[in-house]
Amino acid sequence: MMADSDGPFPNSSENANQYDRRDAISDGIIDLLKPTVEEIDDRVKTVRESQVELRQQIDSLAGDLLIISSSQTISVDLESYVKKLNNSRRRVMLVNNILQNVQERLTKLYNNVSRETARRKVLLDPPGAGRLK
């Protein structure tokens, strides 16, 4: 029969220390990743809002150019400018879609990191560890 001190975890104090170290590492990783993911997410939101505002301004400008063009007695070819604005609008929408996908992926990553941290904490916390602290 083995004595308590002959196993890989000789006593409950050392076992608790090992779990505390693992918790500290897990918490450190989360603390390291969480602010970065949140900052990227906030910046993506800001850029998306700017993209929406830019798209609205492009739409407004294109409408104004059409009104000016139709009200001119002298024929001024503004159609090429309207086409350029529409192309710009299309690109803004494409970038907005890409940013939306990035934001969704960041949200999934953040959720996965949080879920994995919670899962690891449950696995690493020995029964009754809360009472030892």
Domain borders along the chain are: 12-122
DSSP one-letter code for 2 = -
pLDDT score of 55: 87
Given the candidates 1.20.5, 2.60.40, 1.10.3470, 1.10.3680, the CATH classification of the domain at 12-122 is: 1.20.5
Q: Where is pLDDT greater, at 99 or 23?
A: 99
Q: DSSP readout, 65-123?
A: HHHHHHH-SS----HHHHHHHHHHHHHHHHHHHHHHHHHHHHHHHHHHHHHHHHHHHHH
Average pLDDT, rounded, for the chain = 78
pLDDT digits (tens, 9 = 90+) for 7-17: 454 556 666 67
List CB contacts of 40: < 8 A, sequence separation 6 or more.
Answer: 106
CA distances from 4 to 11, 16, 61 (A): 6, 15, 80
